[in-house]
Structure 1
Amino acid sequence: MTFNIALVQHDIIWEDTKSNLSKLSDLIDNTQPHVDLVVLPEMFATGFSMNSTKIAQGMDGEVLSWLKQKAKEKGMAIMGSQAIKEKGKFYNRALFVFPNQQVLHYNKRHLFSPGNEHLNYSPGRERQIFNYKGIRILPQICYDLRFPVWSRNRNDYDLAIYMANWPAARQHVWNTLLKARAIENQCYVCGLNRVGSGGNINYIGESQVIDFKGVSLLNLDKQVDVIRYCTFDFNKLKLFKEKFAAHKDGDNFNLIVD
């Protein structure tokens, strides 16, 4: 079984939703046919802003409406994260939109306390798996990458997607941990990072795809405002796990969410 994704790496215009959606529309409108899923970075429409009261929208807001429109027009799923206000709380929420307009979501669990994210957003409580076209997808957001227990594969997903605004100063950590998550969880990993600068922080992209052996299949380096493609072969993953079934020797554990 093959699965085609499109990675969109762009320079996010700080706290300017309309301009970002306009730029992304130009990129996505030219997406190649036969793409199953388009992946966008964390807070793709605003940048990683702590001004939650300014940038957050409801689930009936402009950003989700735009995602639905693009998914329907292109006949492909699309995902990225957005600041969402719900029941008086703010979440850094991954949104996964199907071509038929169905919406799944995941609220970022690990909030980046060094940047005061925990003071402006509420943490997620549930680990989620999105099932699309028979592919089990684990959505994760940026800082989640540092916490392997949260993404531990219980043989319940095939592909982990990390949407991020990961700073250039910690790019080595980004590259290292993405490979570690792929190897230890025997899965494909997609890391989608922004590029450019925002909020006085520099980002150098390096959005990438890594296979279950830790081999790089695609790296966007420092390219700005680009869309690139990768095809996953899940038959190869299945055969590898049958021959090297390390997941069967994993430790049982209970995850307690405070």
Structure 2
Amino acid sequence: MYLIGGIKMKWRVAIVQMDVTYGDPVKNREKIHSLLADQNFGDVDVIVLPELWSTGYDLASLPELCQKHQNGDIAFLQELALSYHSMVVGGSIAFEENGHYYNQMLVIDRDGSIQKEYRKIHLFRLMNEEKYLSEGETNGQFTLEGVPCSGFICYDIRFPEWIRTHVLNGSKVLFTVAEWPLARVDHWRTLLISRAIENQCYVIASNRVGSDPKNEFGGHSLVIDPWGQVLREGDTYLEEVLIKEIDLDEVEAIRQRIAVFDDRRPEMYTSWLD
């Protein structure tokens, strides 16, 4: 174990890239168990799941699905953390509160406690999210064992100002979960590599594979280092668990190499608009 100031500086990350059975949380929980059980990967520090891993984009059925399965989905993520003694960036699930439905990320500590709830703030009109879901109103920042991180959901990565806001608040690892379509998977790769380079952060990204009644999805889950190098990449079609160790010291090393944040001139970025 590599520790500095009590903080573990190397993490082994496991990204679950899976097909999602439309509108069937029970089958999707079984799938995750099966994919992880098939791996002989030893200890991992963080398990990352894709967006809406429980239901897929069966948005019209959210009232029934949330009523029956929302609590079970949360309990499943907590069980996953306890079973593997791992932190879990639980992709996202459909979540109901006060009659509103959200696309919500849950981050779970190793002891099963909920560390963060982040609700997707940018709703994607091409997949009719705005017709069924409400926008989130909070940030995606959280801390895992002393390491400042942030979580984003799919369409969020097209808004660099949103991600930069989190990095300016200290984030070193950017977790992204998605159901990104195959037709635009080149955008997925390019945007995530750009977010890593411009923010000098690790990007850990889980995307689903397979299809639903309206879309085909593109896989290519990614681990990208703060220099923009792709360290691991998933297949276009294959269900798999990608394992990669990341060295968190690399974030500060890259930031010292090119001091982007020291050279910012934020006073210039909006003054000419006045």
Shared topology, TM-score over 0.5?
yes
**Distance between the aligned counterparts of 1:86 and 1:46, measured in 2?**
17
% identity of equivalent residues: 33
SS for the counterpart of 2:64 is helix
Contact 2:43 2:84 in 1 (8 A): no
Q: Deviations over 1:190-225 (max 9, x none)?
A: 121000101321112000111111111000122522
SS for the counterpart of 1:190 is strand
Contact 2:221 2:234 in 1 (8 A): yes
Report the aligned-residue RMSD.
Answer: 1.8
Task: Say if 2:264 is the partner of 1:250.
Answer: yes
Of Structure 1 and Structure 2, which has the larger fraction of its residues in helix? 2
Q: CA deviation at 1:148?
A: 0.7
| 1:1-258 mapped onto 2 (5 Å cutoff) | 1-31=9-39, 32-51=41-60, 52-57=62-67, 61-78=71-88, 79-103=90-114, 104-152=116-164, 153-154=167-168, 156-252=170-266
**Distance between the aligned counterparts of 1:48 and 1:105, measured in 2?**
20
Contact 2:181 2:215 in 1 (8 A): yes
Contact 1:59 1:84 in 2 (8 A): no
Contact 1:11 1:196 in 2 (8 A): yes
**Distance between the aligned counterparts of 1:84 and 1:159, measured in 2?**
25
Contact 2:227 2:254 in 1 (8 A): no
Q: CA deviation at 1:30?
A: 4.6
SS for the counterpart of 1:229 is strand
Structure 1 residue identity aligned to 2:91:
G
Structure 2 residue identity aligned to 1:72:
L
* Matched residues, number: 254
Q: Deviations over 1:14-45 (max 9, x none)?
A: 11110110111122235522211100000011
Q: Mark the structure with the bigger radius of gyration.
A: 2
**Distance between the aligned counterparts of 2:140 and 2:185, measured in 1?**
26
Structure 2 residue identity aligned to 1:132:
L
Contact 1:56 1:82 in 2 (8 A): no
Q: Once structures 1 and 2 are overlaid, which stretch shifts more, 160-169 or 43-52?
A: 43-52
Normalising by structure 2, report the TM-score: 0.87
1:60–1:112: structure 2 CA closer, same or farther, 3 Å change rule?
A: closer
Contact 2:70 2:94 in 1 (8 A): no
Structure 2 residue identity aligned to 1:19:
K
SS for the counterpart of 2:211 is strand
- Extract structure 1 runs of 4+ deviating beyond 3 A: 57-60, 251-254
Structure 1 residue identity aligned to 2:20:
I
**Distance between the aligned counterparts of 1:167 and 1:223, measured in 2?**
12
1:127–1:58: structure 2 CA closer, same or farther, 3 Å change rule?
A: farther
Contact 1:107 1:124 in 2 (8 A): yes
**Distance between the aligned counterparts of 2:97 and 2:220, measured in 1?**
32
**Distance between the aligned counterparts of 1:225 and 1:232, measured in 2?**
22
Q: CA deviation at 1:248?
A: 1.9
1:58–1:89: structure 2 CA closer, same or farther, 3 Å change rule?
A: farther
Gaps of 5+ in 1: none
Contact 1:161 1:189 in 2 (8 A): yes
Gaps of 5+ in 2: 1-8
Contact 2:203 2:223 in 1 (8 A): yes
Structure 1 residue identity aligned to 2:262:
K
Contact 1:6 1:229 in 2 (8 A): yes
Normalising by structure 1, report the TM-score: 0.93
**Distance between the aligned counterparts of 2:70 and 2:218, measured in 1?**
32
1:9–1:44: structure 2 CA closer, same or farther, 3 Å change rule?
A: same
**Distance between the aligned counterparts of 1:128 and 1:15, measured in 2?**
26
